[in-house]
Amino acid sequence: MSAVSNIRGVSPVMAVPFTNDGEVDLTGFRALVRHVSKSGVTSAMLFGFASEFYKLTDEERTALRSSFLEETRARDDFTAIVSVTDHATEVAVRRARESAAAGSGALNLLPPYMLAPSRDAVLSHVTAVLEAVEIPVIVQVAPALTGLSLEASSLVALARSHPNLSMVKVESIPPGRMISELAGARPSLPAMVGYAGVQLPDALRRGVAGVQPGSSFPEIYVAIWDAWAAGETDEALDLHRRLLPYISYWMQNVELIAQAEKTILTRRGIIANDRCRKPGWTLDRDEMDTIERFLKEFASFLY
């Protein structure tokens, strides 16, 4: 299968585990990648907000990318997506080329947003990265997290002149209209819905290509996706309804969901430590109790 065709269904964003003293735990990260790759998914992404990319050194990013690609490159049916998050266009281009040369199957591009760059500057940045590589590129639109929005028409225009713009990760609130606009354009652009899949049912009705949640319980999202794909819509919607109170609470803050996911991963025995780098979110007693209720309620999915 091609790199793009693998990016469908559930495509988790990898967490980055740390040791007690705050160093990157590469052994734990490799264990997490192996677990996720066996959870029924055919792609995953590194260096999203769930990866705490904004708290990593360049050296750590290189080591993590190498580990990610080494753990996944043997699978022809799996696409490793590496995110380019650099604000400077020159650095983003360099990072994109390095990631492609290292063997990334696709890139996720988070456009620059700090200090409110102009729309033209943002589009020039995206264009430069698209022209720097030949592998598929996913453009991430996350206005709630970045304050930056790109309209569907601009992305479609870019895709007409740059065929490697293969997909858009939509984290608008709500995401549905943009998903439909991209699907109805010429050429049409497939979309992944992010934001922990809070609006996944609407996205599914609109024909979304996939969902990008975190990596602590991808099995639940796979069950929702598979039920919907099998025509068991009531089962899919019921399972999402059960999940929604948890993810909607955790998604109120990026640091909150990053901490909740790592605590879940630790409780599941997948990583050894639930530490996030400071500044972060400290779970209170009620939030810890919520995680325990979640683990109990969904125990049958979390093997």
What average pLDDT is seen over the chain?
96
| pLDDT reported for residue 1 | 55
- Cβ atoms of 214 and 261 closer than 8 Å: yes
Percentage of residues of the chain with pLDDT beyond 90: 94
* Over residues 141-155, mean pLDDT: 92
| pLDDT reported for residue 142 | 93
| pLDDT reported for residue 177 | 96
* Over residues 114-120, mean pLDDT: 94
Kindly give, in sequence order, each residue whose CB lies less than 8 Å from that of residue 115, ignoring residues fewer than 6 positions away: none
Dist CA 56 CA 171 (whole Å) = 23
Confidence check: pLDDT of 303 > 90: no
Dist CA 76 CA 157 (whole Å) = 31
Of the given ranges (75-79, 90-94, 247-251), which has the lowest mean pLDDT?
75-79
Dist CA 110 CA 95 (whole Å) = 12
Structural domains in the chain, sorted by start: 3-297 (3.20.20.70)
Residue 303: CB atoms within 10 A of its CB come to 8
Tens digits of residue pLDDT in 197-237:
999 999 999 999 999 999 999 999 999 999 999 999 999 99
